[in-house]
Amino acid sequence: MKIKHSLSRWVASLLIAAPMVAFAAAVPGEKAPAFSEVDAAGKTHSLDDYAGKWLVIEWFNKDCPYVKKHYGSGNMQSLQEKYTGEGIEWLTVISSAKGKQGYLEPAEAMDVAKNHNLNASAPFLLDADGSMGRAFGAKTTPHMFIINPEGKVVYAGAIDDNDSANPAVIPKSTNYVATALDASMSGEAIPVASSRAYGCSVKY
C-alpha cells in the first residue's frame, strides 16, 4: 500500500510540474490579442497599426493540401483582392517553427508570396516562435479571423463550410469569411460568427 501511495504522489507531482503549452483564443465579441510581428520584407506589423480598420488574418502553410486547395484555385487570392479593394486590410501569417513543415526564411517567403500572387497582403508575417499563432489560438492552415475597426474579433474559424481538400467543392461551398465581412460591413448580424477551422495543423 505504501508503494502504491508513493507512486500516486509521484505521478501527481509530475502532472503538476509538467509544463503546459498555453493556447489563448481570439473569441468573437472579445478584443483581439495584441501582436507585433515582422513580415518577410522586414516591416513590423502590430494590432495598433490597424486601429480603426477592418482586418482579416489568415494562417498559411504552402505545403498544406488545404492551403493549396484555396490558393491553387485562386479562391484565396480572389477574396484578398475583392476585400482589400474595399479598404479591408489583410495579413497572412506563417507560424511554422524552424525545421517544421511550412517554415520559410524571409527570402524564401518573398518568393512564395510572389508565386502565390499575394499582392493584396503583406508578404507574410513570419511568426516562427508561434507567439502570434498561440495568442489567437490558430490551429490549422488556413485559419481565419476578422477584426472590426474597434479591435474586436467578429469571426473566427474556417474559410468555408466544406472541409474537403478538393478544390472542385469551392463553388458549392458557403464562404464564411465573405459572408461575415459582407454582413458586418453592412451593419447586419453575422450569420456564423465562429466555426470549426479545418486544414493542416499549425506546425509550432
The residue type found at 175 is N
How high is the pLDDT of residue 23? 56
What's residue 120's pLDDT?
A: 78
pLDDT band for position 49 (cuts 50, 70, 90): very high
Q: What pLDDT does residue 163 have?
A: 97
Q: What pTM value is reported for the model?
A: 0.87
For the CA atoms of 100, 119, 36, 23, the dihedral, rounded to the nearest 10 degrees, stands at: -50
Which whole number is the average pLDDT over 21-31?
77
Residue 29: inside a domain, yes or no?
yes
**133: pLDDT strictly greater than 90:** yes
Confidence band of 16 (pLDDT split at 50, 70, 90): very low
**Res. 11: pLDDT tops 60:** no
pLDDT class of 5 with cuts at 50, 70, 90: very low
pLDDT tops 90 at residue 2: no
Checking if the pLDDT of 181 tops 70, the result is: yes
Assess if residue 110 is contained within a domain.
Answer: yes
Is residue 12's pLDDT more than 90?
Answer: no
The average pLDDT across 144-155 equals: 97
Region 76-97: mean pLDDT is 96
d(CA 64, CA 34): 27
Overall domain count for the chain: 1
pLDDT above 70: residue 172: yes
Does 102 map to a domain?
yes
- Domain extent, residue 56, equals 22-201
Distance CA 181, CA 40 (A): 27
Contact by Cβ (8 Å): 36, 44: yes
Task: Kindly indicate the confidence band of residue 118, based on its pLDDT and cuts at 50, 70 and 90.
Answer: confident
Per-residue HEC secondary structure of 128-163 comes to CCCHHHHHHCCCEECCEEEECCCCEEEEEECCECCC
- 115 in any annotated domain: yes
Q: Is there a domain that residue 191 lies in? A: yes
Q: Is the peptide bond before 65 cis (omega within 30 degrees of 0)?
A: no
Can you tell me the mean pLDDT for 158-184?
A: 97
Indicate whether 176 belongs to any domain: yes
We report the CATH number of the domain holding residue 94 as 3.40.30.10
15 domain residue, yes or no = no
* Residue 91: inside a domain: yes
Instruction: Label residue 25 by pLDDT band (50, 70, 90).
Output: confident
